[in-house]
Amino acid sequence: MAAIPLRIDSVVKRFGEVTAVAGISLDVQDRTCLGLLGPNGAGKSTLIRSIAGRIRLDSGGIQVFGQPANSAAARAELGWAPQELALYPLLTCRENLEAFGQYQGLRGQALRTAIQWCLEWAALTDRADATVKSLSGGMRRRLNMAAGLIHRPRLVLLDEPTAGVDPQARNRIFEMVEALRTEGTTVIYTTHYMEEAERLCDRIAIVDHGRVIALGSKDELVAQSFGGRSDVLMHFAGTVQNGAEWAASRGGTVEQGVGHFSVDRPTDIAGLLDAAARDGLQVIDVTLRRPNLESVFLQLTGRDLRQ
Amino acid sequence: MIAVIVRTGFRALRRDRGAFLLAFILPIALFSIFAVVMGGMGSGGTARVSVLVVDEDGTAVSARLVRGLRREPSLAVSASPYTAATAEAAVKQGVAPAALIIPKGFGANPIAFGQGTDRQPIRILHDSSDPVAAQVVAGLLQKVVMTSLPDSMAGEGMKYFDQFSGGLTPRQRQDMESNLSKLRGLIEKRDRESNAPAADNGNNAGGLVAVDMRDVVGENKRSPMIAFSAAGIGVMFLLFTASTSAGSLLNEAECGALDRILSARVSMTTLLVGKMTYCTMLAFLQLTLMFLWGAAVFHLELFTHLPGFVVMTVATSFAVASFGMLLATVSGTRAQQAALSTLLILTMSAIGGSMFPRFAMPDAMKTVGLFTFNAWAIDGYTKVFWRDEPVSHLAPQLAVLIGAGMVLFLIARRFARKWEYQ
């Protein structure tokens, strides 16, 4: 039986008094995309660096396709795009790819083919001979990803690849990740943007204080936290007298003139509307919304994801 | 508002160790070095001139002269084992900047007041790479003669008295006046001639003792001091270049490229060897360019000394590259490395002879200078270009430069462990 791409077993890493990773265990199946979702300082990057073999663990172990992380065999199967722009700024795109390809042991035709693939994948063919310092932020991000994947690894670590890029450039990066997934590459994707995790990842591990506090698909995570309940947002006309008391009596809250309620079934909205009409409240708009990952994070930690 | 700006500036300076080091420590360090080099530590620190003395005469007069030279505090005299030939060879090899040879027959007629033609001149063989030493030895020789050979001076005086006074008769007085007038004419003539440029061989026949000076090393050189300049300045800038290029390690560490490289199929040792090779090659090219410029513009005899140049340049480049690697691995940030390298390189260059010739330094400072690459590199290039010594004579310099380079590289490898894993 073939080894799975990634097995993380009870990993602990401390930096002095700070425990960055506090006993994380995860299995990542072939051809899937696992999102590590959590706020800054949650331990995502430390976990990624541990998988890349760049951190000496205090305890636990990591295996990449059955080989210990940092072994030569594991390195050959692993590609890593760090959060920082780990590029040579004075070299061109092609020269950067050539250097990192050679560091991965590529030579001759294999190297040339890999460089061409990277340039096309990152949509940088027309900027191949431009120096990194002359590229836009989004282009640099794409080149940063390509440099980590030039040896066409089967497992890819993308550490916040959209950090600091505009929405348009972010979409281009999403397309790159989706292209990887189409090819069957296994991807570990860290982010603190829930929409990225929702769009790209099959499974999501919510990380906080060095621990995985929830794991599953988006729907599973929402179901774990909220069951089948949905959010209802109710906008009232004019100033609502005693609105807070009214909402509280029906298990909701009012913030800035908007009532927030939770319902088991969408049809429960009718009961709320009837009650509002009975009590003289004029409702001008109602929204039914499924809880998202941010709601899950808020539910699990009591904090906002971007805090 | 101005106070806020000033306070902010000082706060930032206090927290920027590199800038703090450059602002306060470096000037004090360099000031101290130059103060010591210039003899600021008192008379005990004044440089002494080494001179090899060969007594071919073997008379009581020459022996007293040798004793007088040995008593002279500004000279460091080495006498016993040398003959004229071995002393000349020793000067050529740089053992001492000058040799003083007292010829056979000197004791019979050591002193003349004026242009004596029947004297055996004392020969001073010197190395003009130290332009001060020969002049100091020649000047002190005249002084020592006066203090060590008073009987000879008195005898010579009596001779002159007999020669010029002729007794106290009117006839004798007239003769004396006449002869003194001639002597004055001779002195005036000598004074007039002394306005003319000195002869190339630096003969000093007009003193109490006749002196024949000869530059035994640089007499056939077209541009005697160019090799010194190229080596001295070259090594100093090589150190800066090596420091900067090795500092790319810190750039890569700061931007994450180092992590990415080390997560590929590259080990830290391979990476450091690669960086070291790059720095060595860069330094080699830099020095080669400098010496080629010296050959093209300043008539440096590069192409007749190629083997020595190549081995010295390889060894020097390797040593400075390892120094750069050590600085890069010891430093935590690029700013720290810049401050540390500026401090160390300027200090090494000052005491190692890149800024100020080592022969003019006090003995203690000369010894301290041996702990710098600059001193060994300059010594090696001097052997090649100035003394025309074969490559085999470069063994001490090559051993020190390559040996120290290897040690520094191993230390750098040890410090680089901080980047291997966190």
pLDDT value at position B412? 96
CATH number at residue A264: 3.30.70
- CATH classification of B44-165+172-215 is 3.40.1710, yes or no? yes
B35–chain A Cβ distance below 8 A for any pair: no
pLDDT value at position B133? 85
CA A104 to chain CA mean position, Å: 26
Compute φ and ψ for B247, nearest 5 degrees: -65, -10
Residue A175 shares a structural domain with residue A256 = no
Under an 8 A CB cutoff, do A75 and B265 touch? yes
Asked whether residue A305 is domain-assigned, the answer is no
B418–chain A Cβ distance below 8 A for any pair: no
Give exposure, B55-74, as e/b (b: 16+ Cβ within 10 Å): bebebebbebbbebbeebee
Residue to substitute from B249, B254, B261, B263, interface A, most A β-carbons within 10 A: B263
Total number of domains in chain A: 2
Instruction: Among A206, A223, A240, identify where a domain stops.
Output: A223
For A42-57, write each residue's pLDDT tens digit.
899 899 999 998 899 9
- Tell me which chain A residues have a C-beta less than 8 angstroms from the C-beta of B262: 54
Q: Find out whether B219 and B206 touch, Cβ atoms under 8 Å.
A: no
pLDDT value at position B198? 38
CA angle B212, B214, B219 (to 5 degrees): 155
pTM of the complete model beyond 0.80: no
Nearest residue of A to residue B251, measured between CA atoms? A88
Residue A248 shares a structural domain with residue A268 = yes
Contacts of B83 (CB under 8 A, 6+ apart): B54
Quick one: which H or E segment has residue A221?
A: helix A218-226
pLDDT value at position A33? 95
Nearest CB to B422 within list A54, A85, A86: A54
A83–chain B Cβ distance below 8 A for any pair: yes
Residue A257 shares a structural domain with residue A132 = no
Instruction: List chain B residues with pLDDT less than 50.
Output: 41-44, 187, 190-191, 194-205
DSSP 8-state class, residue A92: B
Asked whether residue A307 is domain-assigned, the answer is no
Under an 8 A CB cutoff, do B256 and A86 touch? yes
Between B226-246 and B306-330, two packed helices, what is the crossing angle to 10 degrees? 30
Residue A187 shares a structural domain with residue A252 = no
Residue A205 shares a structural domain with residue A242 = no
CATH number at residue A123: 3.40.50.300
Residue A161 structural domain: 6-223
Residue to substitute from A84, A85, A90, interface B, most B β-carbons within 10 A: A84
Residue A53 shares a structural domain with residue A121 = yes
Between B334-352 and B248-255, two packed helices, what is the crossing angle to 10 degrees? 170
ipTM exceeding the 0.90 mark: no
Asked whether residue A304 is domain-assigned, the answer is no
- Tell me which chain B residues have a C-beta less than 8 angstroms from the C-beta of A90: none
Residue A110 shares a structural domain with residue A141 = yes
Instruction: Among A223, A243, A265, identify where a domain stops.
Output: A223
DSSP 8-state class, residue A131: B
Instruction: Among A180, A198, A223, identify where a domain stops.
Output: A223
For B157-213, write each residue's pLDDT tens digit.
656 666 666 555 677 666 656 765 665 565 456 445 544 433 444 444 456 777 888
Helix (H/G/I), strand (E/B), else coil: B116? coil
Q: How far apart are CA B360 and CA B352, in angstroms?
A: 12
Give residues 22 to 51 of A whose Cβ lies within 8 Å of B.
Answer: 49
A1–chain B Cβ distance below 8 A for any pair: no
Under an 8 A CB cutoff, do A75 and B261 touch? no
Residue A106 shares a structural domain with residue A246 = no
Residue A138 shares a structural domain with residue A272 = no
Q: Where are the domains of chain B?
A: 44-165+172-215, 226-420
pLDDT value at position B169? 66
Asked whether residue A301 is domain-assigned, the answer is no
Distances (CA, A) of B62 to B110, B210, B219, B419: 9, 14, 28, 69
Residue A259 shares a structural domain with residue A119 = no
A76–chain B Cβ distance below 8 A for any pair: yes
pLDDT value at position A247? 85
pLDDT value at position A188? 96
Under an 8 A CB cutoff, do B260 and A148 touch? yes
A133–chain B Cβ distance below 8 A for any pair: no
Residue A23 shares a structural domain with residue A114 = yes
Under an 8 A CB cutoff, do A72 and B265 touch? yes
Asked whether residue A170 is domain-assigned, the answer is yes
pLDDT value at position B107? 76
Residue A258 shares a structural domain with residue A185 = no
Instruction: Please report, in tens digits, the pLDDT of each residue of chain A (307 residues total).
Output: 678 999 999 999 999 999 999 999 999 999 999 999 988 888 998 999 999 988 999 999 999 999 999 898 999 999 999 989 999 999 999 999 999 999 999 999 999 999 999 999 999 999 999 999 999 999 999 999 999 999 999 999 999 999 888 888 899 999 999 999 999 999 999 988 888 888 999 999 999 999 999 999 988 998 888 888 888 888 887 766 677 788 888 888 777 778 888 888 888 899 889 988 888 888 889 998 888 887 788 778 766 665 5
Distances (CA, A) of B132 to A250, A298, B44, B49, B128: 104, 84, 19, 9, 8
pLDDT value at position B158? 57
Kindly report the nearest CA distance between residue A24 and chain B, in angstroms. Answer: 18
- Tell me which chain B residues have a C-beta less than 8 angstroms from the C-beta of A21: none
